[in-house]
A = this chain, B = another copy of it.
Amino acid sequence: MHDLDWKPDKNLDEPLYEQIKQFVIRKISCGEWFLGFQLPPQRELALYFGVNRSTLKTALEDLTADGILGTRGKSGTYVRNNTWSLFRKPLSPDWLKYIRSGSLSPNREITRSIHDHEFSSNLIRLSTGELSPDYLPRNSTDRVLENLIAGGYSLGYDHPNGTIELRESLVQYYRRLGVEAKLSQILIVSGALQAIHLISVGLFPKGASVSCETPSYLYSLNLFKSSGINLCGVPCNGEGIDIARLVNIHKRGSTASHYTIPYFNNPTGHRLSDRKRIELMETYRKLRIPVIEDDTYRELYYDEERPLPLKASDESQFVIHVGSISKTLCAGLRVGWIIGQEEVIRKLADLKMQIDYGTSSLSQLVLDSLLRSGRFEENLSNLRQTLRAKRDLMHEILEGEFTGFAEWTKPSGGFYIWLRLKNLADIKSVFEYCRCHGVLINPGYMYDPKNRDAIRLSFSYVSDEEMKHGLSILKDAILSNTPRTL
A-side residues, CB < 8 A to B, are 13-16, 18, 58, 62, 90-96, 98-99, 101-104, 106-107, 112, 115, 119, 130-131, 133, 136, 138, 141-142, 145-146, 148-149, 152, 154-160, 190-191, 193-194, 197, 201-206, 208, 221-223, 226-228, 243-244, 247, 250-251, 253, 256, 283, 285-290, 315-318, 330-335, 341, 343-344, 347, 350-351, 353-363, 366
* A202:B18 contact, CB within 8 angstroms: no
Q: A142 — which chain B residues lie within 8 A by C-beta? A: 149
* B191:A344 contact, CB within 8 angstroms: no
Question: Residue of B at shortest CB range from A155?
Answer: B332
Shortest C-beta distance, A237 to chain B (Å), equals: 15
Q: A107-B354, A354-B221 are in contact. Are A15 and B251 (CB under 8 A)?
A: yes
* A103:B206 contact, CB within 8 angstroms: yes
* B93:A343 contact, CB within 8 angstroms: no
* A156:B138 contact, CB within 8 angstroms: no
* B228:A90 contact, CB within 8 angstroms: no
Q: A14-B286, A203-B102, A204-B102 are in contact. Are A154 and B332 (CB under 8 A)?
A: yes
Q: How far is the CA of A27 from the CA of B157 in the complex (A)?
A: 56
Q: A58 — which chain B residues lie within 8 A by C-beta? A: 253
Q: A361 — which chain B residues lie within 8 A by C-beta? A: 332-334
* B341:A95 contact, CB within 8 angstroms: yes
Told that A13-B244, A14-B247, A102-B351 touch, could you supply 19 new A-B pairs with CB distance under 8 A? A15-B287, A18-B286, A62-B288, A91-B288, A92-B341, A98-B290, A103-B227, A133-B156, A136-B155, A145-B145, A146-B149, A156-B330, A190-B360, A191-B357, A197-B356, A221-B354, A332-B362, A334-B356, A334-B358
Q: A206 — which chain B residues lie within 8 A by C-beta? A: 103
Question: Residue of B at shortest CB range from A195?
Answer: B356
